[in-house]
Amino acid sequence: MPSFCGDLNTQDPRDALTAVMRGLEDSGLNHGAAGNASLRTAEGFLITPTGVRPRDLTADRQVALDPVGASLGSAWRPSSEWRFHCDIYRMRPEIGAIVHVHSPYATALATMRRDIPAFHYMISIAGGDSIRCAPYALFGSQALSDVALVALVDRRACLLANHGLIATGTSLQVAYDLTLAVEDLAHQYCLALQCGGPSLLSATEMTKVLEQFKTYGQQR
């Protein structure tokens, strides 16, 4: 079961990033220093540091970058994936937080370089009738950022081929919750594939689902 992180929306931003990374590791969605998370700020964004395990994270180790990814005086180096965080914030002004994981089931599908199709109506939680898998690109590269941006067009989450999962949200809590939801969907899809493959919802059915989702939940 996912680890409880408290109410991320009420925590200091640096403490909230630490809580998210620890929660992701406790729930098995990341291991060691894998994955990263960030939060938009008035000055740019805060992002987790490279190569630091969640248990070693502290508020002062979170890295502040400006809107183009330049350091704002942090003593620690940012995650190697800072480029796609920077570019997503630049291209998607509605996004306030990003979570990236190497979770087991989403990553398994990413190694197959396949989208998650409309096998379940909850796919629409990520914003469309599928969760796309971006083509492979080297981690930390501008090429990876470029393909991630394309996969995220009209979407809130995507897979990265042979790599992992990106989830976004208006807040860190929303991005964290979406990460858990997409990993759960990836798990279900993997199980369905083992049983011969699921029956997919039609485009007409998914159009109705997406319309219904406009008023789903508390609309944070």
DSSP code, position 76:
S
Predicted local confidence at residue 217, as pLDDT: 65
> Can you give the residue ranges of every domain in the chain?
8-213
Please tell me the distance from the alpha carbon of residue 204 to that of residue 207, in angstroms, as a whole number: 5
Q: Beta-strand (E) ranges in 45-195? A: 45-47, 63-65, 97-101, 133-134, 157-160, 164-169
Has domain 8-213 been given CATH number 3.40.50.300? Answer: no
Torsion angles phi and psi, residue 167, rounded to 5: -130, 140
pLDDT > 70? residue 219: no
pLDDT in tens, 90-122: 999 999 999 999 999 999 999 999 999 999 999
pTM over 0.85: yes
Instruction: Write out the catalytic residue numbers.
Output: 81
Please tell me the distance from the alpha carbon of residue 84 to that of residue 171, in angstroms, as a whole number: 17
Using a pLDDT cut of 70, give the percent of the chain over it: 94
Furthest-apart CA pair in the chain: how many Å? 54
Mean pLDDT of the 14-30 span = 95
Total residues found in the chain within this entry:
220
Return the H-helix or E-strand segment holding 190. Answer: helix 172-194
In the chain, the amino acid numbered 213 is F
